[in-house]
Amino acid sequence: WRDEDMADVFTARAIAFIEEHRRDPFFLFFSTHDIHVPRMPHERFQGATALGYRGDAIRQMDWCVGQLLDTLDRLNLTDQTLVVFCSDNGPSYIHDFNSAGPFRGKKGTLFEGGIRVPAIVEWPAVLKGPGVVETPCVTSDFYPTILALLDIEMENQPVLDGLNILPILEGKATERREPI
């Protein structure tokens, strides 16, 4: 980690993947470790914020995402690309330098504070203008949503723990057809 800027390496690999597959439908999962321990942002991001390593790591993560979005713009793929930003869980239980707001619990619990996280979904060609979705959705909903978007029916598909949430994202539905 210290000898090489992994943010640059992983971001460059993701950009190369987008460039290579820009003429075909593609799926890219880009995950950063940046705000997890050990927080080791590259030296060019260290001291960039008043929040110490935590803020510096978030700044590095922001740079990585910005590079990917700039690539989509440069390749004229922004409008037709579904982009989802989300976290995997609530705030850390290791310390008290964070908050789940009004929700009880933190990471590692099944209380809302441990599992309820914000997400940002962007798809300019389909999702018009800014909006807020109050309906709870989960990452398990991404797979059935992508299958539906691509009009794919999987043979021998086991029962899915999720559902196509496009109607919810488009504002055509305000409730889930089934519970999470």
Predicted local distance difference test score (pLDDT) of residue 37:
63
Are 89 and 103 in contact by the 8 Å Cβ rule? The answer is no
Q: What Å distances lie between residue 131 and 62, 84, 86, 121, 169, CA to CA?
A: 22, 14, 16, 10, 9
pTM of the predicted model as reported, rounded to 2 decimal places: 0.85
122 three-state secondary structure: strand
Encode pLDDT of 150-168 as tens digits. 899 989 989 888 999 999 9
Give, for all 180 residues of the chain, the pLDDT tens digit. Answer: 444 577 788 899 999 999 999 999 899 999 876 666 666 778 888 888 887 877 888 888 899 999 999 999 999 999 999 999 998 888 888 877 788 899 999 988 989 998 888 899 999 999 988 899 989 898 899 999 999 998 999 899 898 889 999 999 999 999 998 888
